[in-house]
Structure 1
Amino acid sequence: MSLRSVSHSLISNLKSANRVLINYPCRRTCNNKKTTNHPPRRVYLYDQYSDIINNNRAVFIFQNNNLGVNEFTQLRQHLFEVSGQGAAPTKLTVVQTGIFSAALRQTKYANLETLLSGPICIFSTNADDAEHPDLLKKSVEGLAKNKKLLLLGGKIDDTLLTQADVLKVVDLPPLQQLRGQLVGTIEAPARRLLQTLEQPAGELHSVLDRRI
């Protein structure tokens, strides 16, 4: 075998060895990638918070400034009473802000995350306004009386609300009353026009009656 053949063979073997050494760590790194396993408690809370966000018409966020156990119990009792002794289920839930933020980010309400500051508790209900017209107003008023709770905002149905928006919405009259007011507003001009048209005819009829 010539010297050139031997050199060519050695170079080929070295290239093959280098390819093995270069590729092997990559395969090892790829095989070590694993899915993150969260603690069961975190998974449970994440699922609970996701259910609160997605399956309730109204979700209002309050900052919780060291609310005591007794105070929390009193607030829950108030919600039970204004809901008709539980006829319209309402909840006040103290949440872990980080996990609640993670749950929000996976929903169409992700922009609410900017409201989260410090310890948080969540008021939620799926009650229908037609059946319980004063529920939201009485609930928010009762919660707002506690100085350790600060309303930050929330959502009703698919509408995101600031603190001012929530206060305006809960202060609105019931839907049926609004409809009645709207119908009255629409019909009022027509009634006034009809009265104006009927007045001369009525006066003429009165004059003719007196002359006859």
Structure 2
Amino acid sequence: MEDILVIRDPEVAKLLADDTRRKILKLLTIGEFSAYQLARLLKKNTAAIDYHLRLLEKAGLIKHVRTEVRGNLVKKYYASVAKMYLVSYSLSGSEEEKAKEVKKVFNEYLENVVRNLEIFDVSLTPENRARIKFLLKEYLKFKEKTIEFLLSRKKDTITHAVGIRLLLDFLTTVFAFHEPTVHRLLKEGYRILESGGVKLEES
């Protein structure tokens, strides 16, 4: 199993726009599962899970690891090919038709993210909602670029994927603090959130 797989193919990146496929992939980084087991965990029908598994396997994101036969029942088990997945920041600047489709899906994803601010009692004007969406997009591009840079310096195998996620998030935050452009984006984001009714209490 690879440590972290960087996805640079727009067609593969587009697959991960689907919420069910992302959940399947996350489960398969934990262990081996059959379509039936995944269907029960995700409360989906087995045929739908089978369809998603075929797409993920064809894209090279998962692999068939073993088959279990009990009488007339045949169960195929799948596992992830990597501990973590990262969509390359380079796709955000590509003008290929497939990359444009990825960006369209990504924009819809960001719209949903911004809409979720309402859960935390954040009320924004349409202009500020659009600005937060832009700030999120720019920050994610910076984050992905930074993580790719950090991965290029990796000298050993990653043994604990959970720990590495926290470490990569922390290192990205440290880099962001010392990157003037990104620092300004974050400060602007905080000002917008303040205007929407959110303010951290001073300790």
TM (norm. structure 1) is 0.24
User: Larger Rg: 1 or 2?
Assistant: 1
TM (norm. structure 2) is 0.25
